[in-house]
Chain A
Amino acid sequence: MDGTKLSTASWQGGASPFAIGHKKLGMWLFIVSDSLTFGALLMGYAYARLAADVWPKPFPFFPSIVFATVMTFCLLSSSLTMVFAVQASARGQRQPMVRWLLATIALGVLFVVLHLIEWNHLLGEGLSPFSVPATWGANASPLFGATFFTITGLHMLHVLSGVIYLGVTAVRKRATHEDVEISGLYWHFVDLVWMFVFPLIYLLSIK
């Protein structure tokens, strides 16, 4: 009941008004600020797209949409394995926790590999951060490349950081249950951001 009822004491400060540790609160505040970073980038993308004369819709079913859908599946499943890692850690089972963390890392790496292959398709077509291929039409906005590579690139950087972070958590013998939980918060957040990037970038630009 402590978790759901709001008492006046919660707002009056005290030892732990949020009933979580300072490290977890720190991660939550970071997540809020990072959400605003991605929110601002996606709003910038929306603005550029609204203001553009012609916004390209270049993504074919194969490879782009199939790849992006499989990547979404990877990230959602990696969140599932992360929940299992946190549950194993809550029960104090170190070996299963490490194995679930490794599964999460593997799915994260798979996401990045698939994403790089997908990037490579587009780069091969002639898309760059500063221009779009001539075959996409004379008036196609070159901002497409800028928004695409900035948003998916920053997200990919978050996935890579997460892979390293989870790797450190798995290796560190001194990592407490709270530390595992906090790394899980970060990982789920990376998954959450992709839930917006995937439909807004890919599904709204299907060829």
Chain B
Amino acid sequence: MHETTTRTTLSVWGWLLGLTALEVLLGYLHVPQTLLLLSVLGLSIVKAVLIMAYFMHLKFERLSLILTLVPVLVICLVLLAGFLPDGLRALNLRAFR
């Protein structure tokens, strides 16, 4: 059984705190809303991967488990995002002629 060293754990924790600080900073840099959304979402995905890989130990599990859990989740979430363009529908309606 692989055990992550305390040193690795602490450095993952440090990275997670650092990336959080970066996200808060980005929130105050007056970047355009879409760019802000994409950048904090990207950073959050990195944080999620760090938590799953090291804290939840997924990096050290058998590949068959990782392939069973992760792709299905990603595919379902991406499919859910397919609804989003419809949210803009009401704002793009033309006046009835």
A204 and B36 in contact, given A36-B77, A46-B84, A65-B27 (Cβ under 8 angstroms): yes
Quick one: which of A106-140 are within 8 Å of B by CB?
A: none
Contact in complex: A18, B44 (CB < 8 Å): no
A206–B2 CA distance with the chains assembled, in angstroms: 42
Q: Which residues of B contact A20 (CB under 8 A)?
A: 61-62, 65
How far, in whole Å, are A161 and B90 apart by their CA atoms in the complex?
Answer: 39
The smallest C-beta distance from A139 to any residue of chain B, in angstroms, reads: 13
Residues of B within 8 A of A146 (CB): none
- In the complex, the answer to whether B62 meets A28 with C-beta atoms within 8 Å is no
Interface centre among A49, A82, A181, A204, by most chain B C-beta atoms within 10 angstroms, is A204
Identify the stretch in A150-158, A168-176, A188-196 within 8 Å (CB) of chain B at 4 or more residues.
Answer: A188-196
Q: A28 CA to B73 CA in the complex, in Å?
A: 12
Interface residue range, chain B: 35 or more
Contact between A73 and B40 (Cβ–Cβ < 8 Å)?
no
With contacts A17-B64, A28-B65, A76-B16 taken as known, whether A43 is within 8 angstroms of B84 at the C-beta atoms is yes
Residue pair A203, B23 in contact (C-beta under 8 Å): yes
Name A182-207 residues within 8 Å CB distance of B: 184-185, 188-189, 191-192, 195-196, 198-200, 203-204, 206
- The answer for the CA separation of A182 and B71 in the assembled complex, in Å, is 21
The 28 sampled A-B contact pairs (Cβ below 8 Å) are A2-B62, A3-B62, A4-B60, A6-B67, A19-B65, A20-B62, A20-B65, A32-B72, A36-B76, A43-B81, A46-B84, A47-B83, A51-B90, A65-B27, A73-B17, A76-B13, A76-B16, A80-B9, A83-B55, A184-B55, A188-B52, A188-B55, A200-B41, A200-B44, A203-B26, A203-B36, A203-B40, A204-B33
Closest 7 CB pairs of A and B: A50-B87, A199-B40, A203-B27, A6-B63, A10-B64, A47-B87, A51-B87
